[in-house]
């Protein structure tokens, strides 16, 4: 289900989660929709599980949820559930409208959709990259109406997105769960008699086959990252989907092998089993544990996906530090994970071995020390110590990063000796500077080879400042060259501010280095940069040329997956002010084409900039690679008294602000090695 709603993309005990709830009063609401009896369709398309899904969720919310849900605030629209109204299109619209009128800033709304999903030709093809609308099917679904080009009473993705945005605009935080199929393009053979697929093929709705012929499938991803500055008062949004775009999701009798089992959506049952066992886990940990359960228990062959601000604790919304952990394998004593220096890992780092994604650090089975780290992968060996690893490790175990340090090693040359107050101030601040920088920044004497050079320039606009110059030591433009004043700071403040400046620059510089060094790898994925004044007048940027962009120019990306396995795509943008923006993450299925509008150039133009496309082969039942934690705010090039702390500069959780020169578009296992494509842009004033 592709929602036209914008997103703002650790484990703690249940008591801590409840204690951390906001001090302000809030109400918790839920709308549970379970469509099963499609009276206008052949009974072979009816489902059995949605009613049981709704009962399960309602019971959990009113009896076990870590936040209280009053029974009267849990609205049920479901077939076969006592006291529930039929899940018709009109009833769904009315229930959402009522919720939108009731919610206040800070309230929480849980939305659950169980039933059939399908696709139909888009009413407005300009809003759909693949020319198709994805739909959730209420119980009064009707046939295709050729005269108006719609499926009667279908709930289209655009409308669902508008409903959610309406709730978020009131300041409510939303968690939406969809236990329905994302597309009807794949039919899988099933070996169990009690399995039904929550997928209604377009032909069952009478949609002409020729109208469904499209060249691409759109990724179920939002149009732009969430930017708090652009939407003040907007509530947060997290979405869980039962399957990827080319998959169908099953329902079956659960719990497996137990007496009294009933037809149940596999995704719903697994999700709430994880929630019941881990009431204080973050959304991200819950998603990873659902995937681990799918893989280890062989519940389904599909790969659920999860989007939004996944570092928040489920239901309570408490913000947590990012939990960085990866599914691991071990062979002949060597542990391997699909993460490397790009993810902040370095040789010698010690990672905790975790049985479940939702376990706390104190539940570590033991530890692994990394011995080999490249850009995308790492290997290590068990650490012999007070907590030796068990001989038999549980299925689906993970390795978790401990600590939040990022490997951005950079060499910085100190200024040449000068008799000036600024130089003396820097010498006095060196202890504070080295302590705040940590081991990742290495200071070398003036004249030595270095990535950056510190300088005191007497005839500059700021003779009292420490200037941060490129490796060449040349100043192209004082206005865009970072500097830190010294006269208004004591030694400690100067050291911490300069360390903050250097670490911010280091992350951007090292990301550029990775992009240049890794290259496209062995992935058979075509990537092109498209630019133009609007999406109808785009031109492909020539590989040998650096596009020169002016205000209001748009930047789009075109990527084609020519392989027979899925690939995860991330798009990052590095501005000349060292800001890093994360514009997209999603999974490109075999044969798919992604044409994605990213951003347009703003009036505050900055110079040479980079867009980096990171491509990683996707493993079965793995979370979509999301590199949004690499985002960071722009650097204030003239740092005076104050500024963010070093710990904030090193923080990995959450999104940074978008770059000042780029603004979101409002309308829009063994195998190949990962790759990174670096595309250069140059921004400047309009001629």
The Cα 158–Cα 307 span in angstroms is: 17
Residue 3 within any structural domain of the chain: no
Residue 612 within any structural domain of the chain: yes
DSSP structure string for 308-370 = E-TTBBTTT--B-----EEE-EEETTEEEES--GGGT--TT-EEEEESSTT--GGG--EEEEE
479 shares its domain with 424: yes
CA distances from 157 to 150, 213, 214, 218 (A): 13, 19, 18, 12
Residue 241 within any structural domain of the chain: yes
471 shares its domain with 522: no
25 shares its domain with 88: yes
pLDDT tens-digit series, residues 391-431:
899 999 999 998 654 455 789 999 986 788 999 999 999 99
H helix or E strand, kind and range, residue 683:
strand 675-683
Q: Kindly report the average pLDDT of the chain as a whole number.
A: 78
107 shares its domain with 137: yes
Residue 2 within any structural domain of the chain: no
pLDDT-derived band at 358, boundaries 50, 70, 90: very high
Domain end position, chosen among 478, 507, 536: 507
298 shares its domain with 350: no
CATH code of residue 602? 2.60.40
pLDDT-derived band at 213, boundaries 50, 70, 90: very low
DSSP structure string for 440-482 = GEEEE-TTS--SEEEE--TTSS-TTEEEEEETT---S-GGGS-
pLDDT for the residue numbered 204: 60
Which residue carries 């110079």 as its tokens? 607
Question: pTM score, two decimals?
Answer: 0.73
The Cα 524–Cα 132 span in angstroms is: 26
Q: Which two tokens stand for residue 533?
A: 């004044």
pLDDT for the residue numbered 230: 38
pLDDT for the residue numbered 519: 74
SS3 504: helix
475 shares its domain with 533: no
DSSP structure string for 220-275 = S--SSB--GGGSTTPPPEEEEESS-TT---EEEEESTT-TT-EEEEHHHHHHHHHH
Which residue, 649, 590, 250, 290, is CA-closest to 440? Answer: 649
CATH code of residue 396? 2.40.30
CA distances from 159 to 92, 194, 216, 266 (A): 11, 33, 22, 26
pLDDT for the residue numbered 650: 23
Which residue, 53, 182, 45, is CA-closest to 112? Answer: 53
Owning domain of residue 18: 14-308
pLDDT-derived band at 195, boundaries 50, 70, 90: low
360 shares its domain with 492: no
Highest mean pLDDT among 35-44, 460-469, 502-511, 610-619: 460-469
662 shares its domain with 588: yes
- Number of folded domains that form the chain: 4
Burial 122-138 (b: 16+ CB within 10 A, else e): beeeebbbbbbbbbbbb
CATH code of residue 414? 3.40.50
Lowest mean pLDDT among 15-24, 97-106, 153-162, 568-577: 15-24
> What's the rounded mean pLDDT across residues 18-27?
50
Q: Which residues sit opposite 93 in a β-bridge?
A: none
Residue 119 within any structural domain of the chain: yes
Contact 455, 414 (CB under 8 A): no
pLDDT tens-digit series, residues 465-513:
999 998 888 887 888 889 999 999 999 999 999 999 998 888 888 888 7
pLDDT-derived band at 228, boundaries 50, 70, 90: very low
Domain end position, chosen among 360, 381, 401: 401
486 shares its domain with 384: no
The Cα 38–Cα 117 span in angstroms is: 12
SS3 553: coil
H helix or E strand, kind and range, residue 428:
helix 421-437
Rg (C-alpha) for the chain, rounded Å, is 26
Residue 446 within any structural domain of the chain: yes
CA distances from 132 to 182, 184, 200, 648, 680 (A): 12, 11, 15, 42, 33
Between 503 and 215, residue with greater pLDDT: 503
Q: Say whether pLDDT at 245 is over 80.
A: no
pLDDT tens-digit series, residues 545-554:
677 777 778 8
Q: How many CB atoms lie within 10 A of CB 419?
A: 6
Residue 146 within any structural domain of the chain: yes
Q: How far apart are the first and last CA of the chain?
A: 43
382 shares its domain with 330: yes
pLDDT for the residue numbered 445: 92
Domain end position, chosen among 444, 475, 507: 507
Between 625 and 208, residue with greater pLDDT: 625
* Spatial CB neighbours of 197, under 8 Å, sequence gap ≥ 6: 181, 187, 188, 190, 248, 249, 250, 251
Lowest mean pLDDT among 103-112, 135-144, 202-211, 639-648: 639-648
pLDDT tens-digit series, residues 50-100:
999 999 999 999 999 999 999 999 999 999 999 899 999 999 999 999 999
pLDDT tens-digit series, residues 288-319:
999 999 888 887 778 888 988 898 999 988 88
The Cα 324–Cα 138 span in angstroms is: 38
The Cα 434–Cα 441 span in angstroms is: 8
The Cα 658–Cα 8 span in angstroms is: 12
425 shares its domain with 501: yes
List strands edge to edge, sheet with 366-373. Answer: 325-327, 398-401, 350-354, 366-373, 378-382, 334-337, 329-331
Q: Which residues sit opposite 540 in a β-bridge?
A: 530
Q: How many CA atoms lie within 13 A of 19 on its CB side?
A: 5
The Cα 471–Cα 451 span in angstroms is: 5
The Cα 176–Cα 161 span in angstroms is: 11
105 shares its domain with 212: yes
Residue 4 within any structural domain of the chain: no
The Cα 568–Cα 557 span in angstroms is: 14
Q: Supply angle C-alpha 644, 649, 650, rounded to 5.
A: 150
The Cα 237–Cα 449 span in angstroms is: 47
């Amino acid at each position: 289900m592709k929602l036209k709603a914008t997103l703002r993309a650790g484990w703690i005990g249940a008591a801590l989660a409840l204690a951390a709830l906001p001090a302000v009063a809030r109400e918790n609401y839920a709308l549970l929709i379970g469509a099963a009896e499609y009276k206008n369709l052949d009974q072979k398309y009816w489902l059995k599980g949605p009613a049981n899904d709704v009962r399960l969720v309602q019971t959990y919310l009113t009896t076990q949820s870590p936040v209280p849900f009053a029974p009267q605030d849990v609205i049920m629209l479901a077939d076969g559930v006592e006291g529930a109204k039929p899940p018709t299109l009109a009833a769904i619209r009315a229930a959402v409208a009522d919720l939108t009128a009731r919610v206040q800033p800070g309230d929480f709304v849980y939305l659950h959709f169980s039933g059939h999903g399908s696709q139909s030709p888009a009413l407005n093809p300009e809003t759909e990259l693949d020319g198709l609308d994805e739909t959730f099917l209420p119980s009064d679904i009707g046939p295709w109406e050729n005269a108006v080009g719609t499926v009667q009473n279908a709930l289209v993705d655009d409308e669902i997105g508008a409903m959610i945005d309406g709730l978020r605009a009131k300041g409510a935080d939303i968690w939406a769960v969809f236990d329905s199929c994302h597309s009807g393009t794949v039919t899988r053979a099933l070996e169990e008699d009690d399995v039904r697929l929550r997928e209604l093929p377009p032909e069952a709705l009478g949609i002409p086959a020729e109208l469904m012929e499209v060249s691409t499938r759109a990724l179920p991803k939002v149009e732009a990252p969430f930017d708090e500055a652009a939407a003040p008062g907007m509530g947060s949004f997290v979405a869980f989907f039962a399957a990827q775009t080319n998959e169908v999701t099953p329902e079956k009798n659960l719990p497996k092998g137990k007496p009294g089992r009933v037809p149940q959506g596999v995704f719903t049952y697994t999700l709430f089993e994880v929630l019941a066992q881990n009431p204080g886990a973050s959304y991200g940990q819950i998603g990873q544990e659902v995937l681990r359960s799918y893989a280890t228990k062989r519940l389904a062959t599909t790969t659920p996906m999860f989007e939004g601000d996944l570092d928040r604790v489920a239901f309570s919304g408490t913000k947590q530090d990012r939990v960085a952990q990866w599914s691991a394998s071990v062979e002949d004593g060597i542990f391997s994970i699909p993460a490397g220096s790009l993810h902040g890992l370095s040789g010698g780092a010690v990672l905790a071995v975790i049985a479940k994604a939702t376990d706390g650090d104190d539940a570590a089975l033991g530890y692994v020390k990394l011995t080999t780290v490249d850009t995308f992968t790492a290997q290590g060996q068990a650490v012999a110590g007070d907590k030796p690893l068990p001989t038999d490790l549980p299925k689906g175990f993970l390795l978790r990063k401990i600590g939040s340090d990022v490997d951005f090693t950079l060499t910085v040359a100190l200024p040449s000796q000068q008799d000036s107050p600024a130089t003396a101030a820097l010498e006095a601040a060196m202890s504070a500077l080295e302590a705040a920088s940590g081991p990742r920044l290495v200071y070398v004497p003036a004249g030595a080879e270095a990535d950056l050079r510190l300088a005191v320039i007497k005839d500059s606009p700021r003779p009292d400042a420490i200037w941060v110059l490129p490796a060449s030591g040349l100043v192209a433009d004082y206005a865009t060259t970072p500097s830190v004043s010294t006269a208004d700071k004591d030694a400690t403040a100067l050291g911490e501010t300069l360390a903050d400046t250097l670490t911010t620059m280091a992350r951007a510089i090292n990301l550029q280095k990775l992009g240049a060094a890794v290259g496209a790898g062995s992935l058979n994925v075509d990537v092109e940069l498209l630019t133009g004044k609007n999406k109808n007048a785009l031109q492909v940027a020539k590989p040998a040329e650096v596009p020169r962009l002016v205000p209001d120019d748009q930047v789009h990306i075109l990527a084609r997956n020519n392989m027979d396995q899925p690939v995860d795509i991330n798009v990052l943008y590095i501005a000349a002010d060292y800001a890093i923006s994360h514009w997209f993450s999603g999974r490109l299925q075999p044969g798919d084409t992604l044409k994605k509008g990213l951003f347009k150039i703003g009036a505050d133009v900055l110079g040479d900039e980079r867009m980096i496309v990171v491509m990683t082969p996707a493993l079965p039942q793995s979370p979509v690679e999301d590199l949004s934690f690499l985002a960071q705010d722009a650097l204030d090039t003239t740092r005076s008294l104050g500024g963010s702390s070093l710990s904030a500069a090193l923080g990995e959780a959450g999104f940074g602000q978008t770059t000042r020169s780029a603004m979101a578009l409002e309308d829009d296992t063994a195998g190949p090695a990962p790759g990174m494509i670096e595309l250069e842009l140059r921004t400047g004033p309009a001629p």
